[in-house]
Amino acid sequence: MLPASIPKTTLAKLAKLGIHNRFDLVLHLPLRYEDETQLQHIAELTPGMSAQVEGEIIHSEIVYRPRRTLMCQMQDDSGVLHLRFLHFYPSQQKQLAVGKKIRALGEARMGYFGMEMVHPKCRVTGEDTPLKQALTPIYPTTAGLPQATLSKQIQSALNELELPDTLPPILLDRLKLPGFADSVKLLHNPPPEIAEEALAERTHPAWLRVKFDELLAQQLFMRLHYRKRRSRTAPRLPAHGHYTQQLLQALPFKLTQAQQKTLQEISHNLDQPHPMQRLLQGDVGSGKTVVAALAALQDMENGYQVALMSPTEILAEQHYLKLSAWLIPLGIMPVWLSGSLKKKDKQAAGARIAQGETQLAIGTHALFQEQVEFQKLGLIIVDEQHKFGVQQRLALRSKGDEPHQLMMSATPIPRTLAMSYYADLDVSVIDELPPGRTPVITKLIHDARREEVFVRVRDTCLAGQQAYWVCPLIDESETLELQTVIETHQALRAAFPELNVGLVHGKLDSAEKARVMAAFQAGEIQLLVATTVIEVGVDVPNASMMVIEHAERMGLAQLHQLRGRVGRGVAHSACVLLFQQPLSELARARLKIIYENTDGFEIAQHDLRLRGPGELLGTHQSGVPMLRFADVSEDVALLNGARAVADEMLRDFPEAAQAHLQRWMANRHDYLHV
């Protein structure tokens, strides 16, 4: 708990920063440090340099053009520096009156009148005010909570709290890491002689220790989760083969090595008396669906039901069609359930599921609405798992006693991320594409040259192939900026009178959506204008060209997913990324990456560097625990170390492991509880 002496308003602000107790204060580590230990001569300042200078104010006035600004000049023995303030209080103006001796800390830059600092931190000094002895920590804070208040609370927590080490000495020794208490104290109060760069770059041993502890807590947590799951029982579903063999024989292709390997892993898991929780990863087009179908069949061979859940209706519908084609010949009639079904049909579907008349239910999250009761659910398959939140997955789990779970992800997850955030799951990776695919050629084309793209689209379609034309999502607030799909559809229809141009977007009703997709699948529609609703899962091998409008607005994962819709057949495929200027730096970086890379794992690795794990995993909705200090793309060695140590601690030092978890996880309600 925080001391009762802290005023309520301050408590509220601390809570905003995630600080609820004194240990949180200890872990509220500086964002950066300011160096007030030295003085620079004004004449020695160079643009971009962060420095502290001392001198006398020789000029101070408020100018009103171009906007109200406080302009001062300060002078030392070596020269004159201009100080500019766009926001200031009368008190500050007084502080900076002519004749005052001050110290200014800031970044020097070349201004119109010469060297200047904008909004430097200023303090009035006396004849011989001593310089600071150490770097000044700057903390992340929130409006109305001054650094000084924060700093005072942190210092008192550091003084009063006992911070015994949670790592046994023998491990600490081997890892060559400094003690925990020493590390946090050092980070809050860096000694004068410290290497500043190691602090700034967080490579100092004290930083390493904190990051290691954080990663260790995460690993311990995940391992415990894993063990807990292993201690629960689930029905054993051994492979009998009477369904799976039939499907394998009927398929027009042979499974790839990678598909076989992952299938074996899943099959083995299903035969265990514990609930499986396996993540099936594979790049877009790697053939996850058939693996999932075979897993489903193994479940059905044992008389259990399967629920297959997809994030969008279009995708669910595709699965329904594909699996129906595969399974109806085996005498299995899947049931379709989505939110948009008429009430009567929904009830009928629900009844068939409840009475065990169907072994396979396919649909959207409507599948886990409360009314739906499964008779005997053995396996849940979640496609595109990252599109679902934890709550939705949990709701589904409660549908059976202890169903096995297979989660599929088409957003490849870099290895380090998987090790860290999915450490409680078993992971299978399909790391090979089916043979006979031709690589997709990616082109970046400025929107001004879209006419040329028209010609290529027409040629492609007239040659008997099909094409997608993807527009960004319709968003009311951006209607003026974005070309809506509807306009684009009209324009393309006018441009290609000889083609059948279809339109699909999220706001169409589902019957219409299904009709359009079926017509595209059947080749009746040659050019499909679509929003990103087709981003996941859509599989039409005859489509060999994709044009993406406003590609500069889309994320890497999305672009990669979209591009994966083509290159599924034997024809040479192309993906044209239309972009408009000006390009932000991020957009430029993304387009370069998508242009240069085709491997989903590599793209994901770049994405991790660009955006960090939170965005990549969509954690805002999924509730995956976030790391505050460690960085899974940089701290790989620490992560590996933490993994090894987690196992060792649970085995040899269970009490220390408990203490460590207690310290780090006590208020982490955001942790994954699946």
Residues that bind ligand ADP (CB under 6 A): 253-256, 259, 282, 284-290, 410, 434, 539, 541, 568
Shortest Cβ contact with ligand ADP: which residue?
A: 287
- Work out how close the CB of 170 gets to Mg ion at its nearest, in angstroms, rounded to a whole number: 48
- Work out how close the CB of 488 gets to ligand ADP at its nearest, in angstroms, rounded to a whole number: 26
Give the DSSP H or E segment for 393: helix 390-397
- Per-residue DSSP letter, 299: H
Task: Provide the token pair at 172.
Answer: 């600490």
User: What, of Mg ion, ligand ADP, none, does residue 137 touch, CB below 5 to 8 Å by kind?
Assistant: none
Give the orientation angle of helix 288-301 with respect to helix 257-270, to 10 degrees: 30
Chain residues binding Mg ion by CB under 5 A are 537
Residue number with CB closer to ligand ADP (120 or 285): 285
- CB count in 10 Å sphere of residue 654: 10
My answer on whether omega of the bond before 311 falls inside 30° of 0, hence cis, is no
Q: For residue 466, give the 3-state DSSP assignment.
A: strand
User: What, of Mg ion, ligand ADP, none, does residue 286 touch, CB below 5 to 8 Å by kind?
Assistant: ligand ADP
Residue number with CB closer to ligand ADP (116 or 265): 265
Alpha helices in 408-555 (DSSP H): 415-421, 450-462, 485-495, 510-521
- Work out how close the CB of 400 gets to Mg ion at its nearest, in angstroms, rounded to a whole number: 23
Residue number with CB closer to ligand ADP (430 or 482): 430
Residues contacting 666, CB < 8 A, separation 6+ = 21, 23
Cα(467)–Cα(451) distance, rounded to whole angstroms? 16
User: What, of Mg ion, ligand ADP, none, does residue 567 touch, CB below 5 to 8 Å by kind?
Assistant: none
Sheet containing strand 335-337, strands side by side: 335-337, 360-363, 305-309, 377-382, 404-409, 277-282, 426-430
Residue number with CB closer to ligand ADP (120 or 287): 287
User: What, of Mg ion, ligand ADP, none, does residue 268 touch, CB below 5 to 8 Å by kind?
Assistant: none
User: What, of Mg ion, ligand ADP, none, does residue 568 touch, CB below 5 to 8 Å by kind?
Assistant: ligand ADP
- Work out how close the CB of 361 gets to Mg ion at its nearest, in angstroms, rounded to a whole number: 18
Residue number with CB closer to ligand ADP (205 or 434): 434
666 within 8 A of 617, measured Cβ to Cβ: no
Q: What are the angstrom distances between the C-alpha of 65 and each of 62, 70, 72?
A: 9, 11, 15
Cα(388)–Cα(382) distance, rounded to whole angstroms? 9
User: What, of Mg ion, ligand ADP, none, does residue 600 touch, CB below 5 to 8 Å by kind?
Assistant: none
Shortest Cβ contact with Mg ion: which residue?
A: 537
Residue number with CB closer to ligand ADP (391 or 438): 438
565 within 8 A of 548, measured Cβ to Cβ: no
- Work out how close the CB of 179 gets to Mg ion at its nearest, in angstroms, rounded to a whole number: 49
User: What, of Mg ion, ligand ADP, none, does residue 506 touch, CB below 5 to 8 Å by kind?
Assistant: none
Residue number with CB closer to ligand ADP (52 or 286): 286
Give the orientation angle of helix 510-521 with respect to helix 313-327, to 10 degrees: 50
Residue 301 Cα to chain centre, angstroms: 37
Q: Over the Cα atoms of the chain, what is R_g?
A: 31
Residue number with CB closer to ligand ADP (18 or 434): 434
Cα(286)–Cα(465) distance, rounded to whole angstroms? 22
- Work out how close the CB of 311 gets to Mg ion at its nearest, in angstroms, rounded to a whole number: 11
- Work out how close the CB of 288 gets to ligand ADP at its nearest, in angstroms, rounded to a whole number: 4
- Work out how close the CB of 149 gets to ligand ADP at its nearest, in angstroms, rounded to a whole number: 53
Residue number with CB closer to Mg ion (323 or 467): 323
Residue number with CB closer to ligand ADP (288 or 660): 288
- Work out how close the CB of 283 gets to ligand ADP at its nearest, in angstroms, rounded to a whole number: 7
User: What, of ligand ADP, Mg ion, none, does residue 414 touch, CB below 5 to 8 Å by kind?
Assistant: none
* Helix and strand counts by DSSP (H, E) for the chain: 25, 21
- Work out how close the CB of 228 gets to Mg ion at its nearest, in angstroms, rounded to a whole number: 30
80 within 8 A of 108, measured Cβ to Cβ: no
Q: What are the angstrom distances between the C-alpha of 78 and each of 73, 121, 303, 453, 639?
A: 13, 21, 88, 62, 50
Q: Closest Cα partner for 304 from 266, 346, 349, 270?
A: 270
- Work out how close the CB of 541 gets to ligand ADP at its nearest, in angstroms, rounded to a whole number: 6
Residue number with CB closer to Mg ion (235 or 537): 537
Residue number with CB closer to Mg ion (408 or 574): 408
User: What, of ligand ADP, Mg ion, none, does residue 571 touch, CB below 5 to 8 Å by kind?
Assistant: none
- Work out how close the CB of 286 gets to Mg ion at its nearest, in angstroms, rounded to a whole number: 9
For residue 582, give the amino acid letter.
Answer: P
User: What, of ligand ADP, Mg ion, none, does residue 255 touch, CB below 5 to 8 Å by kind?
Assistant: ligand ADP
Ramachandran area for residue 541 (φ above 0: left; ψ -120 to 50: alpha; else beta): alpha
